[in-house]
Amino acid sequence: MLEKEIAELRRRFKNEKNNISRIRGCLVNEKGEIISEFDQTLGLLPPEAAEGLLGVMRKTLTGAVGKNLVDIAFSNDQVVAGSDEHNLLMALRDSELSNDDAVHELFARAIHSLRFEGNFLILLACDKYDVFGYSGSGEREEDAAEVFRYITCSVCPVKLSRPMLSYIAYENAFHAIAANSVVSAPELGFLFPAFDDRTANIYGALFYTKSAADIHAEFIEEIFKTGVPMPAAEQKQSFDDLLGQTVSDDRRYEVVQTVHDRVYDLVEDYKSHEQEEPLRLNKWAISGMLKDCELAPPQLEAFERGFDERFGANAELCPQNLVDVKQFYLQTPDVTIKVNPQRSDLVETRLIDGHRYILIRAEEGVEVNGVTVKITE
């Protein structure tokens, strides 16, 4: 899903905008036992409680696309032949969570795949969204082109707050507040079906993970039974290792700097032009960057083989998962140098009199511990 499509749905999770009629869920202890279960009408809840629940669900649609928000693709066999896992999700959506057997089956599968220290909450909701089209002039059409019906699932740790002391002014007295169970932000969740091109795509789902380093593989395998995407942090580590193994020591800084600058430019250009398709890099695009660094053919071939082994020959990767475009830094055991990611050209490496140096061009505005200094000959 594109970021703008996700944002369009995320804006619905407010009291005045959603069309959620029913919320279901269960509280589970650390042994995997359901402590309690609830089935409530959102509109009958106090506004503050409803807004709190909507805030939890809204969190399940936040984060970086490709890192925290990952597309899940079902195979043709799963959809056409009607696999158990796909049929379950369809039953939940089509019944608008009124199918008790389907709801309890999802609870059971989720609980079987999850491990938390302490209690956790599984929260389900079903929303119906009137998707309006827009004319060429940007005006909304009167009739909805489609009613997009979808479910969301959020899995949240439940923690005990600390006992606190409260002062009630009108009583002129202090009162002890006991520890309460507090629902934390979701650790993981999903949306089904996907909202691609502003229409339902039952061949896809959107998975959310709070930590880009933890993809919750067991949950994905249990609920979707699809291939588990490589976590964003693992993608970066694998890419860094690949560059380190295929580029010689004397060229490594130059190559890393060039790849960073090229990817940074691609990301900035993508943002400025608001393109429809998500930005992705394949093997040939990265290999072209390395070729521009004038790497020897054996090194290019080694990189391409390593890419196939780590990611797959036809893999298309989110560039921000491979290169951190928000920062550029150099580090030794004793020194860390942070550079504006747009100005990596200010830094170079040199070998002088047998010693390795990192050189920074400093023309003006140099400070040391907050004190302005001048660099003279």
Helix axes 84-94, 100-113, angle to 10 degrees: 130
Determine the Cα–Cα distance for residues 339 and 332; give it in Å rounded to an integer: 15
For residue 141, the model assigns a pLDDT of: 66
Q: pLDDT, tens digit, for every residue of 224-268?
A: 998 888 888 888 899 989 888 888 777 778 888 888 888 888 888
Determine the Cα–Cα distance for residues 322 and 351; give it in Å rounded to an integer: 29
Determine the Cα–Cα distance for residues 225 and 107; give it in Å rounded to an integer: 16
In eight-state DSSP terms, residue 58 is H
Nearest to 188 by CA among 244, 228, 149: 228
DSSP 130-167: EEEEE-TTSPEEEEEEEEEEEEEEEEEEEEEPPPEEEE
> Which pTM was predicted?
0.80
Per-10-residue mean pLDDT of the chain, 377 residues long, equals 88 87 90 91 86 92 90 92 94 95 96 90 93 67 78 90 72 67 90 91 94 90 89 88 82 84 87 77 89 86 90 87 86 88 86 87 82 80
Token pair 């019906």 is found at: 149
Per-residue tokens: 15: 């009291």
**Average pLDDT of the chain to the nearest whole number:** 87
Report the 10 Å Cβ neighbour count for 346.
Answer: 14
**Domain ranges in the chain?**
3-229, 230-326, 327-377
User: Per DSSP, what are the bridge partners of residue 65?
Assistant: 69
In degrees rounded to 5, what are phi and psi of residue 69?
-115, 115
For residue 185, the model assigns a pLDDT of: 92
